[in-house]
Structure 1
Amino acid sequence: MSASDPMRVLHVTHTAQPGGAELALARLLTQPHPWRATLHGPSHGTAFDQLSDQEVPQARDLPALPTGGTRSRAPLLAARYLAGLRDAAQVLRRSPLFREADLVHANTAPAAIICALADRTRRRPLVAHLRGPLTVESLGPIGLPAFRALAVRRADGLIANSRFTLASVPRSTRFPAHRTVIQSPSGITDRIRQPRIRAEVRAVGMVGRLQHWKGQHVFLRAFAAALRGTGVRAYLCGAPLFGEAAYETWLRELAGELGIGEQVTFLGHVDDLTGFLDSIDILVHASLGPEPLGQTVLQGLARALPVVASEGGGPGEWIRSGSNGILVRPGDPDALAAVLRTLVGSPRLRHDLATAAAGTPGLLSDAECVDRHAEFFATVHRAAVTGPAR
């Protein structure tokens, strides 16, 4: 790469399903970026289909990893998962995109393991993206030791999506000298500065993959306790992934059992997320534990919505409870129901929360996220060329 040429960055993803990490990467690459981006991942999934219009060359031939393999304690599934990582590394090693890259960006922990296996000779700098805390609960009994033993030792740089995520790295862990926290692109292109609050609440919404850990069942129980039989509707925006269709079936049954079946709409995946957010009056985030980042929370704040979120993790870095949003105990439908009753009954409180949300400091647009990534990629590449610091 000459001084005048843009850096060639290969982005590696272990899945193309439209999960939070994958959508964040897709948003990053659909924005104008100063590096020459390429993408290598598996074929199954739609998260990166839009990149075909962005002139981002893609190789979509990585083998798919077994669903649940990283968290499984079943020896057979664990063996299949490890074999899948090895096979993916072999495919990546032979890829022209990999050989031609000036820097490799692994979008997730499994992708970082694949990249480390593919380039043990350290021919090109590697940036590993940590999208969740470095714990057994997040990465699983297989993923955690594999990430520590392979990706940690090989990586030249680390990006974490929140201070909470970065703080989960044990002090004894030997990590790259180049570490940073960068907010994931959340689809924020512009922010609402003057909130639009209706006198009556008509719609309460939740955005996120339909997954038990995301807490949609907690939201439904709280909504039923607070708003059953009223004119308020609940909207669930998101679809199940990775073999989680049974959870959606149970949620639909639960809505009927709670007597709110006629008040709840399952929207599935929604492309126009900004339009959806602008159509609701209250946004709920109900994860059962600390969320690594909480893209939904950032999106709601940027659109000047009253936001109710589970306390802890990334959302706690953005919400000052009672000021620009409200934090509730995770997994507590009674606490969430009490907040919903209060918000529905108080236009003034909704207005105050939305006004403060509109002024939340530090929220980055997707274009600003691109700038932060570009600066970090350049820093890591420069250090690797002159002699990587660790």
Structure 2
Amino acid sequence: MLRVAYLDHTAKWSGGEVALYNLLTNMDSTVHPLVILAEEGPLAEKLREKGIDVRVILLNDKTRNRNRNKLDMHLFVSVLEFFQYGLKIGKLLKKEKVSCVHTNSLKSAIYGAIAAKSAMIPLVWHIRDNIAEPYLRPVIAKFIRIMAKLLPNGIIANSKSTMSSLHLSEAQSVKTLVAYSSYNGPIGSMLEASNRKQFVILLVGRLDEWKGQHVLLDAAKRFKQQPEVRFWLAGDALFGNDGYKKRLQQFIEDHGLTNVMMLGHVEHIQSLMQQADLLVHTSIMPEPFGQVIVEGMANGLPVIASDLGGPREIVVPHVTGLLIQPGQPELLSEAIQWMIDHPEERRHMGEMGMTRVREHFLIESTVKRITEFYPMVIREQKVQ
């Protein structure tokens, strides 16, 4: 049995943390997990409820919440705090006889490297973000790419798109694995679309400009004369991004979009999806993966998604949904209208989406691939 330490700088219930929870709660007996978080929060609580060993070693809030693209004098203070924090974690790793470190975020990748090196154990980076503009400033992206070639013994990425953004050469000694943030739940919708009087279009995701909720609102203007067509936005602003939320609310008010509902944070997304007819995904930047797309397909929803990044690896055009150019409300409204006008094709897309989830995106497959990856990384370090 391998004792693997999982590091994350946040305990918020966000995409990467949900994926980590799904991984750990489906882990087989070959791995004994130790989760080390830099704050208390929903992730810590939910993992403890499942009997998983969670330790919280607090990291200064200013450093932990620091904007990834900010370059100022406090950067040097943050680097020093990361170094000291990493050494503190390294002592715990030695005490717990950890075999391997698995980091789950970019910040934990940095202090996790310090911890792993000080404990002299292998390091695996799990990269869940696109290491490129505009998500990262060019200098930050370049720094991470350089560190990716020097620090970890292994790198897991949540999509081929994310892995390619690291610009790793095949000649590099670091071992790599693409492991999708897979689905963990039942497959199939419990409600029949024929029983609904409305056609519900659902967008799920935190409110952030790069997620493109404004694109959907612009498209919704074109359906004001079709009262049966409704638009639901599930998700709230995170990390102090209330300004974008207010802009969306103002747009709805200015244009009289009575066909739009902003639902805020929704705890049980699956029940919401079972009330919808179509899932849309409107990111205007490359999405690292697109977990919500997989969830929608698992619930029998056809999908319209931006033709960028991870969604290209999930959606099969004209089979499980449609891929369209991002940031174009006209194209989005045309795609939505096509879905409304073609109920039989839409139903078939939903069925094919469920089949695709069963074949490619179940959590058991991801767990198997990652647990088989750890021994490879450990053996490689011993050889070196």
Per the TM superposition, whether the score is higher than 0.5 is yes
Looking at structure 2, the residues matched to 299 and 97 of structure 1 have their Cα atoms a distance apart, in angstroms, of 38
Cα distance change on mapping 1:161 and 1:320 into 2, 3 Å: same
Q: Pick from 6, 12, 16 the counterpart of residue 17 of structure 1.
A: 12
User: How big is the shift at 1:132?
Assistant: 2.1
User: How big is the shift at 1:46?
Assistant: 2.1
Partner of 1:178: 175
Q: Is the 8 A contact 2:252 2:260 kept in 1?
A: yes
1:211-243 deviation line (CA, Å, top 9, x unaligned): 111011111111222345513322211122111
Aligned AA for 1:293? F
Partner of 1:371: 368
Looking at structure 2, the residues matched to 41 and 298 of structure 1 have their Cα atoms a distance apart, in angstroms, of 27
Looking at structure 2, the residues matched to 175 and 139 of structure 1 have their Cα atoms a distance apart, in angstroms, of 23
Q: Is the 8 A contact 1:322 1:353 kept in 2?
A: yes
Cα distance change on mapping 1:108 and 1:268 into 2, 3 Å: same
Partner of 1:70: 68
User: How big is the shift at 1:166?
Assistant: 1.4
1:290 and 2:286 matched: yes
Q: Is the 8 A contact 2:5 2:93 kept in 1?
A: no
1:147 and 2:144 matched: yes
1:203 and 2:200 matched: yes
Q: Is the 8 A contact 2:224 2:259 kept in 1?
A: no
User: Counterparts in 2 of 1:1-390, with a 5 A limit?
Assistant: 6-34=1-29, 35-63=31-59, 64=61, 65=63, 67-73=65-71, 75-95=72-92, 100-121=97-118, 123-141=120-138, 143-172=140-169, 175-186=172-183, 188-192=184-188, 196-198=192-194, 201-227=198-224, 230-260=227-257, 262-360=258-356, 362-385=359-382, 387-388=383-384
Looking at structure 2, the residues matched to 371 and 135 of structure 1 have their Cα atoms a distance apart, in angstroms, of 29
Partner of 1:3: none
Cα distance change on mapping 1:272 and 1:194 into 2, 3 Å: closer
Q: Given the two structures, how large is their TM-score scaled by the length of structure 1? A: 0.88
Aligned AA for 1:91? K
Looking at structure 1, the residues matched to 217 and 95 of structure 2 have their Cα atoms a distance apart, in angstroms, of 46
Looking at structure 2, the residues matched to 318 and 123 of structure 1 have their Cα atoms a distance apart, in angstroms, of 38
Query: Secondary structure of 1:336's match?
Result: helix
Q: Is the 8 A contact 2:93 2:119 kept in 1?
A: no
Cα distance change on mapping 1:84 and 1:339 into 2, 3 Å: farther
1:285-336 deviation line (CA, Å, top 9, x unaligned): 0000221111111111222211000002111112222221011111111110
Please report the RMSD computed on the Cα atoms of aligned residues, expressed in angstroms: 2.5
User: How big is the shift at 1:9?
Assistant: 0.7
Aligned AA for 1:13? D
Query: Secondary structure of 2:176's match?
Result: strand
Looking at structure 1, the residues matched to 245 and 26 of structure 2 have their Cα atoms a distance apart, in angstroms, of 32
Aligned AA for 1:25? L
Aligned AA for 1:129? H
User: How big is the shift at 1:115?
Assistant: 1.1
Cα distance change on mapping 1:174 and 1:19 into 2, 3 Å: farther
Aligned residues: 379
Moved more, 284-293 or 76-85: 76-85
1:165-196 deviation line (CA, Å, top 9, x unaligned): 1122324597444211101134x323229994
Looking at structure 1, the residues matched to 188 and 32 of structure 2 have their Cα atoms a distance apart, in angstroms, of 32
Moved more, 313-322 or 366-375: 366-375
Q: Is the 8 A contact 2:9 2:39 kept in 1?
A: no
1:58-87 deviation line (CA, Å, top 9, x unaligned): 1222414354532124x2353454344334
Aligned AA for 2:317? S
Query: Secondary structure of 1:100's match?
Result: coil
1:73-123 deviation line (CA, Å, top 9, x unaligned): 4x2353454344334323323335775211110112221111112233561
Query: Secondary structure of 2:39's match?
Result: coil
Looking at structure 1, the residues matched to 203 and 234 of structure 2 have their Cα atoms a distance apart, in angstroms, of 6
Query: Secondary structure of 2:360's match?
Result: coil
Query: Secondary structure of 1:323's match?
Result: coil
Cα distance change on mapping 1:45 and 1:229 into 2, 3 Å: farther
Moved more, 286-295 or 35-44: 35-44
Looking at structure 1, the residues matched to 379 and 174 of structure 2 have their Cα atoms a distance apart, in angstroms, of 13
Aligned sequence identity (%): 27
Q: Is the 8 A contact 1:69 1:80 kept in 2?
A: no
